[in-house]
Amino acid sequence: MIVAEDLVKEFKVHRRRPGLIGSLGTLFSREHDIVRAVSGVSFRILPGVRAAYIGANGAGKSTTVKMLTGVMNPTSGRCTVAGLEPYRDRRRTAANIGVVFGQRSQLWWDLPVADSFRILRRIHDIPDPVYRRNMALYQELLDLDALGTTPVRQLSLGQRMRAEVAASLLHDPAAVFLDEPTVGLDLVLKEAVRELVNRVNAQLGTTVMLTSHDIGDITSICDQVLVVNHGAVVHQGTVHELLRAADTRAVVFEYQDGPDPHQAIALIEARLPGVTARQSECRRIIVDYPTGRLSARQVMAFLLEHFDLTDCVAPEPDLETVLRRIYTRRAEPREVPV
Amino acid sequence: MRPIATVARYTALAWHLSAVSLHRLTEYRMDFVLGAGGLLLRVGGQLAVVGMVFRQVPVIAGWNFHQVLFLLGFSLLPRGVDRLFTDQLWIMARRLVQSGEFYRYLIRPVHPLFALLSERFLYPDGFGELITGAAITWYAADQLDLDPGIGDLLLLPLLVLCGALILAAIKTAFAALSFWTTNSFPALYAANQLGDFSGYPLDLYHPSLRWLLTWLLPYAFTAYAPASYLLFGRTDLLLWLPVVTAALVALALLVWHRGVDRYEMTGS
């Protein structure tokens, strides 16, 4: 459904020099740097999949989505959505896709939401039954009628976002691109938006591509994760696979008697190679161990031997920790082809 | 068959969106009043200048008072039509590319230019210009005892339409410059100001300005060329009107498409 092949996007950034003379100089100079926002991204998302496209700020997520939706041309490489190259065939692509850029409205800002929907219905030639079914669904999940006749520009962010997501799905698109769709929403509304996306996916097989910094969005909507770093995809697979790929896991334990926590931590770090331990509560300690060198069993065996355990768990690695580790790898001096 | 279906589809959409816009007017009455007031001031000023000049001299460059009045009135007609349909270009030049909002016209299954313009169809100031322009033209024609044949009467809407297309094309090209500069409001404003010269006889101006208004920013074709035909039967410029209109529209669309292709949506 969504295919990217060696997708590259470069921006020219004009070099600016400080001070008045410098600014005047830039008026006449053609000097610029080339910033590579997306460097050779390739992936394939099958129909009906709900994929999260995630990465740290500045990883090139939004830029990729802008190319996939036809808003921007790639510098090189190509991508297709439902068989069409979006930037070459914008109008036909637009009939196939829905788009939400959480930070930017696509509604008619001086009209009530209901009017925007009526216009979209005309523009997309939405058949009556489809329009009625979708409006009923939005009413049930998002309570759109509550927005009344207030012009969009006077709506709160939460009210507007509800309408934006609904508007992107109104014409039953084959694929929907959601860029930060729950930004500014409270917990209840976030749930409602996730439920809407999931329901549309289940009933119509809509392919979903989501970018979000909200872990809840990812875990409650997506069955696949694409992790992008340095402008390239570093992982594609299920959420479960990503978690399994975690190179650090933890064992948490609580004990009674014996050495005080500081000594305990010192002991663990001295005896288990590559392990870091930290205190969470008074006698509750979290042991992070590298999965390549130790297993949970080895760690637990060591703990049983040296402490009088009252509790011991090996929690599932959580997505947030895994992602944080992937994002921070950026800080390490890795070769980035530019 | 397909072109006909496309035209029918866009006409129906334009009709629907115009109805929405008219509906919107009731909510922005103050805007309308301010716009109408501003227009009356501008046209009033132009009329005053013309009136004062003709108090001193009976004829200027071969034009008498009512002939200049006719030209002035006629120049408002294409302007009015243009303003009814392309006012959103001002907002684009000023803001839409810079703020990243322009993207929304690229994700709709209609031509992006149509998507842009249709957001502000039937801008009320246009009606004001049309009505004022028609009244002045009518009055001047009556004073001049102008008796156009049926052919000229049929030609009239076509002349106005071509003039409106020329104005729209100039505006589109200058608004599309914002794809390169992110904000092209000053350029569009300057180009639009030059258009004010079209309300007076071109014969008044220095040949270089005349040349500029005829062949570079061809405002001459929006009023001067049709008015000199209707008043004096001069066809030397008028014959170029279809060519100039077509060329300018093509050029504007070229600039527009080049711009859209290099559009960089700002921000995340």
Q: Which CATH code is given to the segment(s) A2-243?
A: 3.40.50.300
Residues 147-186 of B with CB under 8 A from A: none
Tell me whether B16 touches chain A (CB under 8 Å): yes
Interchain CB contact of B262 with A (< 8 Å): yes
Per-residue confidence (pLDDT) for residue A17, from 0 to 100: 67
Partner-chain residue, chosen from B12, B28, B264, that has the shortest CB–CB distance to A72:
B264
Closest approach of chain A CAs to the CA of B14, in angstroms? 10
Mutate to test the interface with B, among A123, A126, A171, A183 (most CBs of B within 10 A): A123
Would you place residue A27 in the very low, low, confident or very high pLDDT band (cuts 50, 70, 90)? Answer: low
**Does the pLDDT at position B59 exceed 80?**
yes
Mean pLDDT of A105-114: 90
> What is the pTM assigned to this prediction?
0.85
With pLDDT > 90 as the criterion, what percentage of chain A qualifies? 39
State mean pLDDT over B51-76. Answer: 92
Model pLDDT, residue A29: 65
Is B24 within 8 Å of A110 (Cβ atoms)?
Answer: yes
Question: What's residue B264's pLDDT?
Answer: 87
Give the CA count within 13 Å in the CB-facing half-sphere of A200: 31
Strand partners, A250: A288
Q: What are phi and psi of A50, to 5 degrees?
A: -110, 100
**Alpha-carbon distance B41 to B221, whole Å?**
25
- Sole residue written with tokens 């074709």: B221
pLDDT in tens, A278-295: 888 878 899 988 888 888
Looking at beta carbons, which residues of chain A come within 8 Å of B13? 122-123
Instruction: Give the bridge partners for A226, in sequence order.
Output: A53, A236
Average pLDDT over residues A257-263: 85
The Cα of A85 is separated from the nearest Cα of chain B by a number of Å equal to 13
Cβ-based neighbour number of residue A57 at 10 Å: 9
Is residue A303 within 8 A of residue A312, CB to CB? The reply is yes
Highest mean pLDDT among A136-145, A242-251, B45-54, B215-224: B215-224
Tell me the mean pLDDT in the region B234-247. Answer: 94
Residue type, B171: K
Please state the ipTM of this predicted complex. 0.86
Ranges of beta strands (E only) in chain A are: 2-14, 32-45, 50-54, 76-81, 97-101, 175-179, 207-211, 224-229, 232-238, 248-256, 276-281, 284-290, 308-313
Q: How far apart are CA A102 and CA A117, in angstroms?
A: 18
The stretch B174-201 carries a mean pLDDT of 92
Those residues with Cβ within 8 angstroms of residue A224's Cβ, 6 or more apart along the chain or in another chain: A45, A49, A50, A51, A52, A236, A237, A238, A239
CB B260 within 8 A of CB B106: yes
Pick the residue with more confidence: B206 or A158? B206
Contact B17, A119 (CB under 8 A): yes
For the ranges A67-76, A185-194, A254-263, B23-32, the lowest mean pLDDT is seen at B23-32
Question: Mean pLDDT for chain B?
Answer: 91
> What integer is the mean pLDDT of B2-10?
89
SS (H, E, C) chain A: CEEEEEEEEEEEEECCCCHHHHHHHHHHCCCEEEEEEEEEEEEEECCCCEEEEECCCCCCHHHHHHHHCCCCCCCEEEEEECCECCCCCHHHHHHHEEEEECCECCCCCCCEHHHHHHHHHHHCCCCHHHHHHHHHHHHHHHCHHHHCCCEHHHCCHHHHHHHHHHHHHCCCCCEEEEECCCCCCCHHHHHHHHHHHHHHHHHHCCEEEEECCCHHHHHHHCCEEEEEECCEEEEEEEHHHHHHCCCEEEEEEEEECCCCHHHHHHHHHHHCCCCEEEEEECCEEEEEEECCCCCHHHHHHHHHHHCEEEEEECCCCCHHHHHHHHHHHHHCCCCCCC
Domain ranges of chain A: 2-243, 247-316
Pairs of residues, one from chain A and one from chain B, whose beta carbons lie less than 8 Å apart: 75
Mean pLDDT, residues A102-130 = 91
Residue A300: alpha-carbon gap to chain centroid:
35
Report d(CA A274, CA A222) in Å as an integer.
33
**Residue B110 to residue A91, Cβ atoms within 8 A:** yes
Strand duo B59-60 + B63-64: pairing: antiparallel
Contact predicate A138/A144, CB 8 Å: yes
What is residue B35's predicted lDDT score, i.e. its pLDDT? 78
Structural domain boundaries of chain B?
2-261
A331 pLDDT more than 70: no
Residue A26, pLDDT score = 60
Architecture of domain A247-316: 2-Layer Sandwich (3.30)
CA–CA separation, B34 vs B124, rounded Å? 11
Q: Pick the residue with more confidence: B207 or B34?
A: B207
More confidently predicted of A320 and B102: B102
pLDDT band at residue B1 using 50, 70 and 90 as cut-offs: low
Confidence class of residue B268 from pLDDT cuts 50, 70 and 90?
A: low
Q: Which residues contact A100 (CB under 8 A, 6 or more apart)?
A: A106, A164, A165, A168, A176, A177, A178, A179, A181
Mean pLDDT, rounded, for B80-107: 92
CB contacts, 8 Å: A95 with chain B: 109
Q: Which residues of B touch A57 (CB under 8 A)?
A: 268
Q: Minimal CA–CA distance to B13: which of B113, B114, B92?
A: B114
CA neighbours closer than 13 Å in the CB half-sphere of residue B85: 17
How would residue A332 be classed by pLDDT, with cut points 50, 70 and 90? very low
Return the amino acid letter for B251. Answer: L
Token output for B106: 């690229």
pLDDT level of residue B172 (50, 70, 90 thresholds): very high
Please list every residue in chain A whose beta carbon sits closer than 8 Å to the beta carbon of residue B99: 104
Longest Cα–Cα distance of chain A, Å, equals 75
R_g of chain B computed on alpha carbons = 19
Chain A contact present for B104, CB below 8 A: yes
